[in-house]
Amino acid sequence: MTDGTASDGVVDVLVVGAGPTGLLAAGLLARSGISVRIIDKNTSAAKETRAFGVQARSLELFASLGLADAMLDRGLVATGVQVFAEGERVAELSFDDIAPNDTPYGFLLMVSQSEIEAVLVDDLARLGGTVERGTEATALDRDADAVTVHVHDASGSEAAIRARYVIGSDGAHSTVRKALGLSFAGATYPQTFLLADATVRWPLGSDRLSLFMRGSGFAAFLPLRGRDYARVMVVDPTEASSGAPLAQGSSPVELDVVERAFRHSTGLDVTLSDPRWLSRYRVHHRGVDRYRVGRCFVAGDAAHIHSPAGGQGMNTGLQDAANLAWKLAAVIRHGAADALLDSYHDERWPVGQAVLAQTDRMFSAVADPSGWVVALRKVLAPAVAATLTRIAPLRNRAFRFVSQLGIRYEPGRFLAEETSEGASSRWRDGPGPGRRAPDAATGRHRDVFDLLAGYRFHLLALSREPLSREDIDGLSAELAGFVRDCPAPAEAHLVAHSLVGRDERLVQAESARVFDAYGIGPGTPRGLYLIRPDGYVAWRTDSLDVTACRRFVERVFAPGSPGAGRAVRLPPTPEHAR
């Protein structure tokens, strides 16, 4: 049972906080056969829009879980972004022009956090889980074997939940983070922001993001449901920046106040009506010093909060969950070394820090009220926008950062490769360990992401050189043996040109795009990739040496586990794999 406990009363993982990060973590753990409970102090699900932009990397993750269509059904595909400076449009970018061809999601999906949470709650229910609402964590006691989390419900009744591991995804004011004594270094931006999710009547369209810099003001229009409603954000022009954060981080505001401020900062005739959410708030940028303390972890806003620039917050939390869940499952169920859990901090902390730094720079560039920044912005904004519009590599680079497709992790014990000295430069420049596995067509009706569906390991064998019947026989047997002996759930896929026509044991490559995307070409006609459950390359080699991959997996999974403890025979490398 997904949300049940073991016979000794200890649940494998307790997730504290049922926002998008916590819900995704619980669902991924449930998929992995882990007993999990998820609690949230709120008595009902969020109704407000809150976070809203789902980036390409998050959509890829949702697609692997079969959830992308549900997200797309509820959202709006933003077609691009336009930037205005002092009343003049200085840049207009279409996502069609700047998105790379290695993802099916070359856009930003505008969908409210409440809708995202609804999809994830339904998914968790299908897996046998439920959110225990109105249950607030108040304290943690840790020992060598488990963590005891003290909770009370809406009626004030107290209880204790004992778990082998705890994930704190309980937001910016995280009880878990505070109980662990983690620092949360950073600051509060001096500006006060006004926000309204409302129907917007104005002279511009409703399908793209619009940013406005006018004098010391800054405003943004973010489409959510076409002409039905959108989000407008604007720096409050009437309040002096005292630098002191508002009580509780937000306070009420009247719709006409937001409308006047938005008109002032855009210079446009704007009418707002039918508000769904109104707020006056301050923005913070903070990050923890550690993502793991023993059996406890922090993720999402409990680990990092930053400005809304680039729409990074929720997406970074979702990737935290995807990175951590399979590692917990590997340790709990499949005997992987405990050090694998340390790699959660090693990989995600630098990402969190980079996002904090980049969003701070972006936010300061457009929203800093300082006189010299405003003056410089008037000069530089048109020049920077023109350069970005003109130079394709810069546009692509910007999209890869914002979409999170460009995130990569540093090689180490759990990210490695075996590349020969004679490997081509194309191979070396291809997706190595720690980089995201790209999508590419294998034929008219299939692509790589179709093969990599499911939150599990995937062994991807590629051969641009046509395979004989004997090659297919040998490789298919080896790949099947790898799947059978792998300690964790895994699938194997052979994608190749064939000398014998179609064969159900391989995906016949009808397009060279898959080989180009993975660096397979002259000088390196074959390659083997082990893809992690979160979609990143764990290991690769420029041959079809399945035995070498077995050796890597044995290093990841500690001896004596239910799977890794089984004897794995390591035969000599067969001729067809060389």
Closest CA relative to residue 23, chosen from 46, 6, 1? 46
Segment 542-567, tens digit of pLDDT: 999 999 999 999 988 855 333 332 32
Ramachandran region, residue 510 (left: φ > 0; alpha: ψ -120 to 50; beta: rest): alpha
**Per-residue model confidence (pLDDT) at position 246:** 44
Cα(338)–Cα(89) distance, rounded to whole angstroms? 54
Are 525 and 557 contacting, i.e. CB atoms less than 8 angstroms apart? no
Closest CA relative to residue 304, chosen from 149, 184, 449? 184
Cα(287)–Cα(285) distance, rounded to whole angstroms? 7
Question: Exposure pattern of 223-236 as b/e (b: 16+ CB <10 Å)?
Answer: bbbeeebbbbbbbb
**Per-residue model confidence (pLDDT) at position 384:** 57
**Per-residue model confidence (pLDDT) at position 574:** 43
Cα–Cα distances (Å) from 5 to 33, 123, 293, 442, 577, in that order, read 12, 20, 23, 43, 45
Are 438 and 517 contacting, i.e. CB atoms less than 8 angstroms apart? yes
CATH number, domain 416-577? 3.40.30.20
Q: Kindly tell me if the per-residue pLDDT of 348 is higher than 80.
A: yes
**Per-residue model confidence (pLDDT) at position 80:** 84
What does residue 119 show for φ and ψ, rounded to 5 degrees?
Answer: -65, -45
State CA 22 to chain mean position distance.
13
**Per-residue model confidence (pLDDT) at position 390:** 61
Beta bridge partners of 225: none
Question: Which of 63-77, 84-98, 329-343 is the least confident region?
Answer: 84-98
For residue 452, the SS3 value is coil
Tokens of 370: 């300082």
Closest CA relative to residue 109, chosen from 148, 57, 149, 55? 55
Beta bridge partners of 109: 54, 77
Closest CA relative to residue 511, chosen from 433, 432, 439? 439
Segment 83-103, tens digit of pLDDT: 888 888 887 888 877 778 899
Other beta carbons within 10 Å of 150:
16
Burial environment of residue 433 by CB neighbours within 10 A (0 to 12, 13 to 18, 19 or more)? buried
The pLDDT mean for the chain works out to: 87
Question: Which of 196-200, 264-268, 564-568 is the least confident region?
Answer: 564-568
Cα–Cα distances (Å) from 187 to 218, 262, 438, in that order, read 20, 26, 36
Q: Kindly tell me if the per-residue pLDDT of 372 is higher than 50.
A: no
- Residue length of the chain: 578
**Per-residue model confidence (pLDDT) at position 145:** 93
The more confident residue out of 539 and 354 is: 539
Residue with tokens 């869940």: 325
**Per-residue model confidence (pLDDT) at position 457:** 98
Closest CA relative to residue 328, chosen from 302, 292, 303? 292
**Per-residue model confidence (pLDDT) at position 558:** 59
**Per-residue model confidence (pLDDT) at position 312:** 84
Q: Kindly tell me if the per-residue pLDDT of 576 is higher than 50.
A: no
Confidence of residue 286 (pLDDT cuts 50, 70, 90): very high
Question: Could you tell me what percent of the chain has a pLDDT over 70?
Answer: 87
CA atoms within 13 A on the CB side of 81: 22
Cα(451)–Cα(428) distance, rounded to whole angstroms? 23
**Per-residue model confidence (pLDDT) at position 567:** 27
**Per-residue model confidence (pLDDT) at position 1:** 40
Cα(531)–Cα(437) distance, rounded to whole angstroms? 7
**Per-residue model confidence (pLDDT) at position 48:** 64
**Per-residue model confidence (pLDDT) at position 566:** 30
Segment 245-256, tens digit of pLDDT: 444 457 889 999
Cα(514)–Cα(441) distance, rounded to whole angstroms? 6
Cα–Cα distances (Å) from 265 to 212, 255, 501, in that order, read 7, 16, 64
Confidence of residue 577 (pLDDT cuts 50, 70, 90): very low
Q: Kindly tell me if the per-residue pLDDT of 135 is higher than 70.
A: yes
Are 54 and 75 contacting, i.e. CB atoms less than 8 angstroms apart? yes
Confidence of residue 364 (pLDDT cuts 50, 70, 90): low
Average pLDDT over residues 518-525: 94
Segment 405-420, tens digit of pLDDT: 999 999 988 999 999 9
Beta bridge partners of 115: none
Cα(335)–Cα(520) distance, rounded to whole angstroms? 34
Cα(496)–Cα(520) distance, rounded to whole angstroms? 11
Other beta carbons within 10 Å of 501:
6
CA 151, 153, 159, 165 torsion-angle sign: negative
CA 408, 412, 417, 421 torsion-angle sign: positive
Domain boundaries, the chain: 11-74+111-185+286-366, 416-577
Q: What is the dihedral of CA 235, 237, 241, 242, to 10 degrees?
A: -120
Segment 373-396, tens digit of pLDDT: 444 455 555 555 555 556 566 667
Confidence of residue 239 (pLDDT cuts 50, 70, 90): low
Q: Kindly tell me if the per-residue pLDDT of 300 is higher than 60.
A: yes
- Residue 308: partners with Cβ closer than 8 Å, 6 or more residues away: 233, 283, 363
Per DSSP, the chain holds a count of helices (H) and strands (E) of 16, 28
CATH 3.50.50.60 at 11-74+111-185+286-366, yes or no: yes
Q: Kindly tell me if the per-residue pLDDT of 578 is higher than 50.
A: no
Segment 103-130, tens digit of pLDDT: 999 888 999 899 999 999 999 999 999 9
Beta bridge partners of 127: none
Segment 436-493, tens digit of pLDDT: 999 999 988 899 999 999 999 999 999 999 999 999 999 999 999 999 999 999 999 9
